[in-house]
Every structure is written in C-alpha cells, then in structure tokens.
Structure 1
Amino acid sequence: MNKFKKIAKWSILAIITVIIVAAIGFKIYTKGYYKADMDTITAIETRLEGSVNSYSDENGMVFLPETSVPKAVIVFYPGGKVECQAYSGLMYEIASRGYICILPRMPENLAFLRINAVEKITANYMDDVDSVKNLDWYIAGHSLGGVAASLYLEDKTDDYAGIILCASYPNADFSDKDIRLLSIYGAEDKVLKADAYENSKAYWPEDSEEYIIEGGIHSFFGCYGIQDGDGTPKISNTEQISETADMIASWIEG
C-alpha cells in the first residue's frame, strides 16, 4: 500500500510539473507577439479623417462609415500573435468604402482561444446589432485568424453571406454551403503554407474567388512590420492595404 501511495504521489507531482512547464512555455510563446505600427496606422487614420469613426472597449474595436449608408458588416479576426490594433489601418480603409467593420480583441492575441469573439464584442450592443441585421454580414480573417473564423462560420452559415480570407484558408468544409468566399494573398508571401492552401480549395464553396496582390506579402494585411520568414515586398504597406480594401468592396458589391 505504501508503495502504491508513493507511486501515486510521484505521478501527481509529475503531472503538475508538466502542466506548469506547459503553461510557462505557452506564456513565453504568446509574449513575443507583433505590435501595431502606430505611425502607419495614424497616417491612414489622418488621411481618412471625417469619413470613418472608430470606437473601442475591452472586447475590441468598431469602425463606422460616416459619409455613406453602410452596405454590409465585416467581422475581422486578427492573425496569430498579432496585436488586434495592427489591423485598424485595414479596417479604416474598408470602412471608408462604406462598410461597418468589427475587430475583436483576442486573448493572448490568438483567435483560436476565442473563436466566438464576434459574440463577445456584440453582446453589449444588441440594439446597434439589431439596427443592421438587414445588412449582409461577412466574417473575415488574416492568417490563423482566418482559419479560426472558418471554424466559427462552420455552424453559422445561415447568419453570414460569406467569408473573406487574407493569406489564409478554411479549416471547415463549405463545399456544399450556399455562401461566398474571397481569398486574397500576396504574390511574395513566404509564410502562407502553399500545400495547405491548395488542399483547402476542396473546402471552398462553389461561389469562390481568388485574388493575388502583385508584390504583396503576408504581413502587409496588417500594420506590424514584417514578420519572421516573410518575403520581400515590392509595394508599400499602405498600398497593399488599400488594394485589399478595394478588392473586398468590389467583391461584395459585385
């Protein structure tokens, strides 16, 4: 009996040790995230002053077009280990073209930890949500944020008109779903896994469109510099963001 107790004791200690080491490792992993390039974002915000209003709380940010009637709502999931505010430049550009944009904050900057983030940010504004329920809603995301968005959409296809993937791919099967899909990536992207991307096309719905940004890279859908392993851009960060916003607007309105 004493031998059994001793084995049980050491087994419990071993399990606790593994959990602690894993928790520390995870914290170290998430601590090294990409921070928003506020100089680039401020330049975009200043240029679009008067055409977009933005609001934020602990759950995320909302961007509202001020010079036109909203055409649709876009919920955008940030890429993995990227500060959500890094995508506010893209949100300003899209909103200036007439779209309400919702940008959720993610715990530890990982969308996989809060796949239902859109529900978290809209829960406190149900009157505002009800006022735009007549509009088409789209879910979108960059990189791992797009993968997380696709997992959320899997059981919500009746609530959304489509999904917009920036340097990303779906991890859920929409091949028999009545939704639209837009895939955008940069020609110089060295982060997006080509095999996984091509294999994911089996999950694309019938109404899908692919757009390649010449000279674009993985990182320039946000404003956070160039992440490790990415390619060399042949266009500027602001040019890629503007082209992305143009393509999204053209696709939705088309």
Structure 2
Amino acid sequence: MTLFAVLVLGATGFFTWAKLPMAATASSVADVADDPGVDVTDRPDTVVLRPAETTPRDQGLVFLAGARVDPQAYEQVLSGLVHSGVTVVIVRPVLGFAILDWRALSDFTAEVPEIGHWAVGGHSLGGVRACALTQTDPRVDGLVLLGSYCATTDLSTDADLPVLSLSGSEDGLSTPSNIDRYRAMLPDDATLVEIEGSNHAQFGDYGPQPGDGTATLSDDEARSRIDRELRSFFATVGP
C-alpha cells in the first residue's frame, strides 16, 4: 500500500470517528423537550435554549461541548440556568473538537442578537477553547469551566474576569491534579469548586466515557450541585 493510500485511509478513519459523537441519553433530551420552561431550537451549528416561562435576562452563555460529545448532552445540565432567565447557546464544534473550531464568538451570539452580555464556557476540551474566546469579544463578562482548565490561555492577569471552575473528585480525564496544575492560569479570585464523588461524564448526559473515574455521586445529585453553582455564579456576573 502506498503512503498516499495510508494517509487517505487514516484521514478517512479520523473524520468518520470524529463525526460519530457520544450521543446524549434519550431520557435527558426528552426531559428538556417536555420542560415548559425551556424553549429549544436545534440548529445545524448550535442548540439554543431560551427561557420560556421566566423573564429573559440580558445575559447569555455560549457553551462549547467536550470532544466528540453530542451538544444535546448538555441540555439538561444547563436547563436550570435557563429557568433562571439566562439564554444558552450550545455549540456543535467543527469535527466534534472545539480546539479545532476557530469561528468567532460572534458567530454564535448572532443567533440571539437581543442579548448584550455574554459568558463563555465549556466542558473538557470545550473549556480549553472557551478560555481563548474570553479574549476575543468585549461583551464577555464571565468564564465557566466544567471538568476543564485553561491549558493554553493565561488569564491570570485578567482581574476583571469572573471565573467559575467546577471539577469532580473522581474525574479520570480532567483529573484533580490537572485542575491544580493549571490553577495558575486563572485569576487569583477565580472560584474553584470540586464536587466530591462526581466524574467527568456527569457534566453532561451521554453515559460512561472511556478513561473516566467511577462516580460515587448519583447523576441527579451531581446535576443538582452543578445547577446550584451555576445559578449562584450567574447571579453575580453580568448586568
């Protein structure tokens, strides 16, 4: 087999693998679809969650999915934030990898032009990309990291950027040691919360993930803790 043929086969295999995401659990998608307080718009590049029963705040979150994770897997985790009046735009990254997606933040905020204040966030590799996006748009007034850290963007001198970093004590991918190693990349006053008993996959709803630790906290308990921390953070940032 020629080198060219090997490269073609390798590239084909990668693209096929990358385009087969870890699917959202059917029950979590159904729960949000049946939730009268959340209006879901599923678009080719994003999933937009708008408050349906709560008066919308002038505040939104652009959230980048983890590597090869179906964006719908974050609907239920973030739905409580929507109930508090925050509009959420979940991004479908190019090839399923946010670190390969160089679209501007404005490409996603344009879908909800009525919102003037934005936080950006992400899970796992999505969070790595979110760190960089905080530096590209003056409307960004907060950063949310779920099982993630700023691996390539130094935000330590950005004293005006509120940051919430949620991690799991049983996370086998974004391990507690990794969270600690990259702590210096965040502002001194960043809020770091380790959820005891939670693992990497509990920041979404897509089932077990290879390489992850074993959670000792139930999915419902983990989701409740994440929701509480997100609501508390968004109550202090933005307009």
Q: Do both share a fold (TM > 0.5)?
A: yes
Aligned residues of 1:116 and 1:152 also touching (Cα < 8 A): no
**Structure 1 position 92, deviation (Å):** 1.7
Is 2:12 the partner of 1:35?
A: no
Aligned twin of 2:123 = 142
Aligned to 1:111: 98
| Amino acid aligned to 1:162 | G
CA distance in structure 1 between the aligned counterparts of 2:32 and 2:71, rounded to whole angstroms: 16
Q: Partners in 1 of 2:199 and 2:156 — Cα distance?
A: 27
Bigger shift: 114-123 or 216-225? 114-123
Aligned partner letter, 1:63: L
Q: Which amino acid aligns with 1:52?
A: V
What TM-score, normalized by structure 2, do the two folds share? Answer: 0.87
What residue identity is the alignment partner of 2:123?
H
Gaps of 5+ in 1: 1-12
The percent of aligned pairs where both chains have the same amino acid is: 28
Q: Deviations over 1:12-53 (max 9, x none)?
A: x74x4464244124225425531110113323543xx22111
* Conserved? CA contact 2:28–2:73, under 8 Å: no
Correspondence for 1:176 among 124, 144, 157: 157
How far does the alpha carbon of each residue in 1:31-88 deviate from its partner, in whole angstroms, 9 at most, with x for none? 5531110113323543xx2211111221211111123223321111000011111111
Cα pair distance change 1:238/1:44, threshold 3 Å = farther
From the superposition, tell whether residues 115 and 240 of structure 1 become closer, same or farther in structure 2 (CA, over 3 Å): farther
Match of 2:51 in 1: 65
Q: Secondary structure at the match of 1:192?
A: coil
Query: Contact 2:28–2:75 at 8 Å: present in 1 too?
Result: no
Amino acid at match of 1:50: P
Matched-pair contact (CA < 8 Å) for 1:45–1:89: no
State which structure, 1 or 2, has the greater radius of gyration over its C-alpha atoms.
Answer: 1
When normalised by structure 1's length, the TM-score is 0.82
1:13-28 correspondence to structure 2 within 5 Å: 14=3, 16-17=4-5, 19-28=7-16
Partner of residue 250 from structure 1, selected from 217, 232, 235: 232
Instruction: Describe the SS at the equivalent of 1:161.
Output: strand
Distance 1:59 1:109, change over 3 A: same
CA distance in 2, matches of 1:190, 1:33: 19
CA distance in 1, matches of 2:104, 2:42: 14
Rounded to whole Å, the distance in 1 between the matches of 2:168 and 2:178 is 16
The number of residue pairs the alignment matches comes to 232
Separation in structure 1 between the aligned mates of residue 30 and residue 73 of structure 2, nearest angstrom = 11
The amino acid across from 1:94 in the alignment is: L
In structure 2, relative to structure 1, the CA distance for the partners of 1:233 and 1:172 (3 Å cut) is same
Residue number in structure 1 paired with 2:73: 86
Structure that is richer in helix per residue? 1
Select 1:159's aligned residue among 139, 158, 167.
139
Match of residue 38 from structure 2? 52
Return the alpha-carbon distance in structure 1 between the equivalents of residues 176 and 167 of structure 2: 11
Structure 2 gaps, min length 5: none
For 1:189, which of 171, 174, 180 is the aligned residue? 171
Compared with structure 1, are the counterparts of its residues 83 and 117 closer, same or farther at alpha carbon in structure 2 (3 Å cutoff)?
farther
SS across alignment from 1:54: strand
**Residues in 1 aligned to 2:74 and 2:103: alpha-carbon distance in whole angstroms:** 19
Cα RMSD of the aligned pairs, angstroms, is 2.1
Contact kept? 2:128, 2:149, Cα under 8 Å: yes
Q: Residue in 2 aligned with 1:132?
A: 115
* 1:117 to partner: Cα distance: 6.0
User: SS of the counterpart of 2:156?
Assistant: coil
User: Is the Cα contact below 8 Å between 2:169 and 2:175 reproduced in 1?
Assistant: no
